Each structure stands twice: as structure tokens, then as C-alpha cells.
Amino acid sequence: MIVRMSKVEIIGSRDRLDAVLTVIEEKGDLHIDPSNIGFIDLEDTAEIRTLLPDDRTLFEKMFLEELNDKIHLLFALLPEVEVRQSPLSPGPIIDTIRRTVDRHLAWCREQHHKKEGLLHDLVALEGQLAFLRAVSSLMEGMTETPDLDLIGLTLEGPEVLPELRQQLENLTNGLYELATTRTEEGRMVGLLAVEKSRTAAVGAVLRDTRLPEYTFPESFRNLPLDRKQAYLADTAAERRRDLATVDRDLERFARRWGPIYNAADHWLAERLTIIRAEGQVFESRMCFFIYGWMPTRGVEPLRGALEGRFTGGVHLQELEIRREDLERIPVALRNPAYFKPFEQLTRLLPLPRYGSYDPTPFIGIFFPLFFGLILGDAGYGLLLLPLAAWLVFKYGDRPLLGDGGRILGACALYTIIFGLLYGEILGDLGSRLLGLHPLLFERQDNIMAMLVFALSIGFVHVTLGLTLGLIAAIRHRLKKEALAIFLNLVLLTAIGLLLIMFFGVFPDLLARPLIILILTLTPLLLFSGGLLAPLELLKTIGNIVSYARIMAIGLTSVLLALVANMLSGLTGDIVLGAVVGILIHLINIVIGVFASAIHSLRLHYVEFFSKFVETGGRPFQPLHRRDPDRLAKGRHPIG
């Protein structure tokens, strides 16, 4: 739901401004809004002005921002390690930290460049070792002599060999030997033996045919091939030791200085927040004025904190919210634990305006319901539940993956429920193996029933959206818009009853009154909604028809499950049949999950929310202190 907001004014003497902002930051509930200068109800507003920073404050802000950037650069060069919380307060020693960070940043950059160089050398050495391991078997038949040169080659594939052999035959009169093999990674390599007097000419041929010659460092290029591999292995081991030493030095540095720089980063962020907030405050000759928005439930706690800290020297009062203020009220969402994960889906849309509806509870109710209606297989739901539990257990503290797991869990439960109603467990395996019978109907044999069911859900869903839009229009005193929505509801109901009578549910005696009602209300619809009102009604009918996708996509899923079971039975082999069935069912689950999620979201975003959600809200951005527990948890800010 959208949190109820209060418009507040905080007044105090100018010398207490920093302390007041610190208290506000600790509470973390006040959204300072300098654009609302209209809050000030004083006659001599000419004496009230924004609290522009002086030269000293500007210099301090630039100094702190530069230091903060350097600390973040330092964190980017350090490994992620557990660190303790520093007991030191960075404020009194911030000048010392500024002088120290430049030296530490230079040292960390030097170590980082050294590490990059070692990693580059190690990759090259490992590539050369892989090459030598691959050609070691080829060297058994090639003996190195003073007149013989061995050349390593990297080949794109066997198709280049005929042309290469032809050129070598012409150049050396057949006095060469070429052997090829593949490395552990699958690359094709070769070893070419030629007379040293022809090495330069062969190298030119290789360059012309764009075949790279495998070169080795100058330091051991002249070593025999049987000693090169040992030399490379020793050199690679030495690089690994040097790399481990650099890593240990960086880790030791992070453990020693990490707590201090973590605390400094936290202090700098708080101080910069205060300085930026001061630019959003108004002042007179003696007092400061802070205007903003905060949740109504937080007004009394903040008032109590200010009274207790300043013993009546700072006053907070709620102001009347005027009609022109409604456009400026920021929006914060707060929902119960079940609906909280579904905020990830509503955040894909712009924020609703204050006074509108929070779409989160609606999507929390209907999204998993539609998902289950479409996928509708108890076996698939039972397979999705462990995946959802693993996501919550593994990534529960990460909003995206953790909330995604919770949403998937709710969808899996509805999938199981509707799977039992449809009588589906991995398609028709439930009925064939367990004797399961549908509690509602079988989708593949009752297409018309499923279509009517889907359209009925669409009618209820869309009319609910229109009803919410009608309530909002009445609340905002939009008489014409309210009348148009009401007429749409009546006309939709009348058209729906006529369609039901077509199937013989209601007696035909009601047809004439319903047709008269439709013909009578249509001119009123033109009066209240304009010339486009009938088109809007047709669009709404189209929205309802769009819910037929629940039937169509669900039918596709159940038919693919039946195909999986049929093909697995036609193989005539238990193992092969199980492999085929499992593979097709897995494909069906993946397709079903994505299709069910995408189309369920579309039904909400396009057909449902468009009827009552007013977007364009301002985000609630309170002045708040960063969580100090983050330091105690022992992670670098950028780790």
C-alpha cells in the first residue's frame, strides 16, 4: 500500500542546524523538499532565503568528495576480506587520512600492476606448456641436430594442411617433416622439422599463409626441446609464488587498513549528506526552516527525538496538505511480508501517484493465480518448489533472486492446486499411473469450457479494475470520468448477460430489456466520455477477450506434456524413453514458466492496471544514515 504522508515544518535557531540534521539522518524518515517554499506562511517572506553554502563549506565539500573518491578507488584495488569495525572516529584524523590515502593508493596501484603482469606471464607460460605437452609425443621421432630446426605451429584446422605441405614440398624439395596433434583444449598444433638453412624461407611461407609460428621467450629459445618443458614448469611455479605473495600483501594491507578506511568512508558519506541537505534548508536572520514530507507514523517519534535532544529549542509541526501539494507528495510503498517480494514486479512500472492505488497487493493475488491457471500441472509445480526454496535459502538476502524465489514458490503452489483441479501430473501420467481424476475438467478435452472459464476470469478482473477506477474518480470528485466508468461497467454487464443468454443460461425474456438498456446508455456514454467513449468500450471488450490466452497457452503446455509421454512410450526402450520424456518435460517447464510469467504480467500491466493505476509519483528519498552494521559485517563497500 502507499504510505500515508504528512507535510512537516521544523524550526530552530541557526546554530543548531547541523545537530538537527544529524537527528533527522538518524531517524531516516524525512524527505526534505526545498521546492515547497509555499509551506512558509509568513508575511515577510523576503527575509527568508535558501541557506546557500559559504566558501568554507564549498571547500569542505570538494575536499570530502575528492577524499571519498580516492577511498573508493582504493577499495576497488583491494581483495574482499573480513574486517573488524574500527573503534577510531575518523573525524579528528581526517587530514591524516587524506595524506595517507595518496601513499596507500600509489602502493596498491603498483601491486595491482605487478599482479596484472604476473597473470599475463602465467597465462603465456601455461599456453606454452600446453603446446609442449601436446607435441611431446611428436618429438619422439624427431631428433634435434645442429643442422635441424624444429618449428612449432598453431593450425586453424586440418583443411590448411594440403596447401601447406605442397608449399613445403616445393621449397625444401621434400626435405621436411610435419606432424600434427591436438592440445587438451582441442586446438590443433604441429611440429615442423627443416634444415636451418631453410628456416627463414619457411618462416616467410608461414607468414604468407597466415599460419602463426609458435614462438618461445628468448631466454630459453635455444634450449633443447626436452628441457624447455621443465624450464617452463619451473618458471610458471615461480610466477605463481610471486602472485601468491602479492595477494598476501594486499590481503594483509586490507585487514590492517580496511577498518579505518571503512569507517572513514562511512563518516564521509554522512558528512556529505549533511552538507548537501543544508543546501535544501531555508533561513532567516535568526532561524532555519526545514520543510518536507515524512510518513505520518514517524512524525511523533521524530518530534520526541527533537524535543528530547534540544529541550524545546527545536519545533516540529504538521501542516495542512493543500490541493496543489498533491502533485509533490513523494510515494513510499509498504506491504505485508507476503506481498513484499511482488514489489519487484511493480517496480517495472513508474511509481503510482500519491492518492492512487499501490498495484502490489493486486499483482500479489492475481499473478500467481494466473500463473497456476496457465501452467496447471501438479508435477511441474512440485519440481518448481525445490528450486524456489533453494533460491530463497541461497539468495534470501538479495532482493532480486531472493524475492524471485518467493514469487516462484507462490506460483508453484497455485500450479499444484490447478494441476489437481485439471487432473494433471506430468501431463496424463497422473491419471495413467495414479488414477488421478480432474476435480474441475480436463483441459485438452474441454476447450470451450476452458475458454469460457478464461473469459469469465477476464470479465471479473477487468470489471474489478474499472470499479477501482470508479472509486478513485469519485474520491477525486471527477464527476464526468466517474459517470463514464459507471456507464462502461453497466454496458459491459449488459453485454455479458446477453452473451450468457446466447448459451441458454438465462431466459430470452431478458434480451429485450438489456438491448433497450444498451441503446439508452450509449448516448450518455458519448456525453460523459466524448466521441471516443464507444471506442474505449470496444477496447475494454478487447481486453477481456485477451484473457483467452490463459486457455490457449495452457492448452499448449498440456499438449506438449502429452507429446512427451507419448514419444517416451513409442521408443520401446525404458532408458531411452525416460531420457526423451524427461528432456521434453524439462523444455516444457522452461517454456511454461516464461510464458506463464510474461503473459500474466501483460494481463496486469495492459488490461488491468490501465483501468485504475495513475502513474507519475515522485520517489520517497529520505535523509538517512547508512547502516553501520554493514561495517560490522566485515565487507568492503565495493567488495
CATH value at residue 155: 3.30.70.2750
Quickly tell me which residue has 630459453 as its cell. 220
pLDDT for res 43: 47
pLDDT for res 506: 61
Distance between CA 427 and CA 557 in Å, rounded? 9
Tell me whether residue 336 is in a domain: no
Distance between CA 608 and CA 83 in Å, rounded? 50
pLDDT for res 598: 92
Mean confidence (pLDDT) of the chain: 80
**Percentage of the chain lying above the pLDDT 70 cut:** 82
pLDDT for res 140: 57
Range 69-80 average pLDDT = 87
Q: Are strands 287-295 and 188-195 parallel, antiparallel or unpaired?
A: unpaired
Domain end, chosen from 171, 203, 238, is at 238
Quickly tell me which residue has 492475481 as its cell. 366
Tell me whether residue 253 is in a domain: no
User: Are 424 and 558 contacting, i.e. CB atoms less than 8 angstroms apart?
Assistant: yes
**DSSP state, 384?**
H
Helix (H) or strand (E) holding 194: strand 188-195
Tell me whether residue 258 is in a domain: no
pLDDT for res 323: 78
Question: Which position has the higher pLDDT, 107 or 616?
Answer: 107
pLDDT for res 212: 59
Q: Is the pLDDT of residue 62 over 70?
A: yes
Helix (H) or strand (E) holding 179: strand 177-182
Instruction: Give the global pTM.
Output: 0.69
Question: Which position has the higher pLDDT, 147 or 81?
Answer: 81
**Helix, coil or strand: residue 269:** helix
Same domain for 231 and 361? Answer: no
Same domain for 361 and 230? Answer: no
Range 216-235 average pLDDT = 65
Quickly tell me which residue has 609425443 as its cell. 137
Q: Is the pLDDT of residue 302 over 70?
A: yes
pLDDT for res 217: 54
Tell me whether residue 233 is in a domain: yes
**Helix, coil or strand: residue 335:** coil
Q: Is the pLDDT of residue 179 over 80?
A: no
Distance between CA 215 and CA 203 in Å, rounded? 12
Q: Which neighbouring-strand residues pair with 49? A: 283
Tell me whether residue 626 is in a domain: no
> What backbone phi and psi angles, to 5 degrees, belong to 606?
-95, -55
Domain end, chosen from 188, 218, 238, is at 238
Same domain for 223 and 366? Answer: no
Amino acid identity for residue 293 in this structure: W
Tell me whether residue 516 is in a domain: yes
Return contacts of 203-212, CB within 8 angstroms, 24+ apart: 203/151, 205/167, 205/168, 205/171, 206/151, 206/153, 209/160, 209/163, 209/164, 209/167, 211/153, 211/154, 211/155, 211/160, 211/164, 212/153, 212/154
pLDDT for res 185: 66
Domain count, the chain: 2
Q: Of the ranges 35-44, 60-69, 119-128, 505-514, which one carries the lowest mean pLDDT score? A: 35-44
pLDDT for res 127: 73
Range 455-477 average pLDDT = 89
User: From residue 295, how far is each of 352, 364, 486, 587 by CA, in Å?
Assistant: 16, 24, 34, 47
Domain end, chosen from 238, 253, 271, is at 238
- Domain of 176? 122-238
Closest CA to 626 of 272, 162, 189, 217: 272
Same domain for 226 and 360? Answer: no
Q: Is the pLDDT of residue 362 over 90?
A: yes
Same domain for 359 and 508? Answer: yes
> What backbone phi and psi angles, to 5 degrees, belong to 189?
-130, 160
Tell me whether residue 53 is in a domain: no
Q: Is the pLDDT of residue 144 over 60?
A: no
Q: Which neighbouring-strand residues pair with 8? A: 292, 318
**Helix, coil or strand: residue 182:** strand
pLDDT band at 416 (very low <50, low <70, confident <90, very high): very high
User: From residue 306, how far is each of 55, 425, 544 by CA, in Å?
Assistant: 29, 62, 54
Range 613-626 average pLDDT = 82
Tell me whether residue 278 is in a domain: no
